[in-house]
Structure 1
């Protein structure tokens, strides 16, 4: 059965990325890509190949809704390296765009949010790699790259997502002034609540981007699809608990139809019992008259 869409959710098609990605002129409508990124029109956007010293990125031409949004995307990271591989990729919601640099393929001193998929540890930590992190930048502070973003990190979860048989699904929800929440789904597993960052306000003009970086060691970083949703004006304020749009309560009409369905079943069951009761009384009366 097809899932009913919540009536207050709006899908923003100008941010959609899906095969074949390009038009007849080999352009991606509403997006720009650069660096080592290449397009496989049958499957994915490859931000880097499994080669050293690569940087690739892709950025939306339009900025995200300032009050809030949900971004659903699919990625795959992996390669030939068994013990050494890297460096990683990231989803960005930042004021700047199309600036290639050393922070997972993006520029340093970014202003906004990064959801980072880091596969190589530059220093020692009390957690394992690969890891998913939420990092924030103010546009004035350099990223703590030598310590894998320790000074910028606001949330994380440890998940072994490298070389999975299917792309990993990621869901990032943002409500201005309230929270950023990240859910992930790996091959044949349920959705996992990765982390939540509270009291977050991103720049009113924030572009959506994806970037990746390899150094002396490398990995393939593929982006398979992107979909962005927002909510109707006035409904965003109702979402103050960290959640995803997919966890919103069912529309009132759907709840009402469910109520009437249950009521109908109760009436039907009551009718069956009433029929049994009257049949039993008739049977008892008949046997009494015989004697």
Structure 2
């Protein structure tokens, strides 16, 4: 009889354990229709610009100047609480000068190339920016590479001249470029809380980058990614984007399809001040300005050479006069 009771207790324990596992699996599962997984051939993602699809990765931009590329899921996501895992790689030939970076999007619009890391400015939704540009604009209290988040309502402008610090909700430094390990970023949104974490040190563990309360994001938006290069360049590769439904119970009163994207907190604005400590060659020069600097430099060298020749000739004449 005692053995029967023991076996029955073990049976109840296993039943409760398996029930708990089953319940966990139903509340946190992969949304395949909103995920980008090898071999990238399910037809649920659209590619534009310089994007190249291989068997191993989706390259948004090659390591060449002035390129833009983007990918967007062509199915809307209606998950109110979610976590997006992005496996990526940023690398290139530059050791000191490189850029510009890439963005991960959850937006109302899709497939629009633009000036914000290859994506559209004045966007509506969420942008996570992984900025690798090695020269910053104005005084910072952080270095690069840098990860930041911005919530746009269609009227906010991302200002590259200020590295977007006057519209970001939060940010952190992260040395993901040319990492010796596989690089991942996790974007988690649950009950108006946005948390961004990274795994870039090969520890198979998430390290929190930042967490922000009071972020409101509607359902029915598109996930995507984009990248851009300018005078500086890098390869920006996406290996996978996996969306998980967290499955948390939500208040039924709120209509998540019709709320406007917003955030309670923004980083304080700062004045734009040119950084004189950095080499002018690493600044974001447009083509005609760069050409103008080259022309002025050539003229300057010519003037210096002419003045030097005149001084040399004068000294030679004076030397001959003293000899006679």
Q: CA contact under 8 A between 2:182 and 2:200: conserved in structure 1?
A: yes
Q: Which residue is 1:156 aligned to? A: 171
Pair 216,225 (structure 1): closer, same or farther in 2 beyond 3 Å: same
Provide Cα deviations, 1:263-286, integer angstroms capped at 9, x if missing partner. xxxxxxxxxxxxxxxxxxxxxxxx
Partner of 2:184: 169
Aligned residue in 1 for 2:158: 143
Q: Alpha-carbon deviation of 1:48?
A: 0.3
Report the alpha carbon displacement of residue 166 of structure 1 after superposing the two structures with TM: 3.1
Q: 1:220 is matched with which residue? A: 235
Cα distance in 2 for partners of 1:11, 1:162 equals 27
How many residue pairs match? The answer is: 226
Aligned residue among 89, 114, 118 for 1:101:
114
**More strand by percentage:** 1
Stretches of structure 1 lacking an aligned partner (at least 5 in a row): 23-27, 238-291
Match of 1:132 among 147, 153, 159: 147
Separation of aligned partners in 2, 1:203 and 1:106 = 20
Q: Does 1:64 align with 2:77?
A: yes
Q: Which structure has the larger Rg over C-alpha atoms? A: 2
Instruction: List per-residue Cα deviations over 1:174-218 (Å, max 9, x = no partner).
Output: 125x21111110132342111012111123331101000000110
Q: C-alpha distance in 2, partners of 1:17/1:204?
A: 19
- In structure 2, stretches of 5+ residues that fail to align are 1-20, 252-324
CA distance in structure 1 between the aligned counterparts of 2:78 and 2:183, rounded to whole angstroms: 25
Aligned partners of 1:203, 1:229: CA distance in 2, in Å?
A: 16
- Matched residue SS, 2:40: coil
Structure 1 residue 9: Cα displacement: 1.4
Residue of structure 2 equivalent to 1:38: 52
User: What is the CA–CA distance in structure 1 between the aligned matches of 2:83 and 2:103, rounded to whole Å?
Assistant: 16
Deviations 1:19-48 (A, max 9, x none): 2112xxxxx42110110000111x100000
Q: CA RMSD in A?
A: 1.6
CA deviation profile, 1:43-66 (whole Å, cap 9, x unmatched): 100000000000000001112225
Output the TM-score relative to the length of structure 2: 0.67
More helix by share: 2
1:111 has 2:117 as partner: no
- The equivalent of 1:185 in structure 2 is 199
1:150: how far off? 1.2
Q: Does 1:205 align with 2:220?
A: yes
- 8 Å Cα contact 1:95-1:203 kept in structure 2: no
Pairwise mapping of residues 1-12 of structure 1 onto structure 2 (< 5 A)? 6-7=24-25, 8-12=27-31
Contact 2:182/2:202 (<8 A) preserved: no
The 8 Å contact of residues 112 and 119 in structure 2, kept in 1 or not, is answered as yes
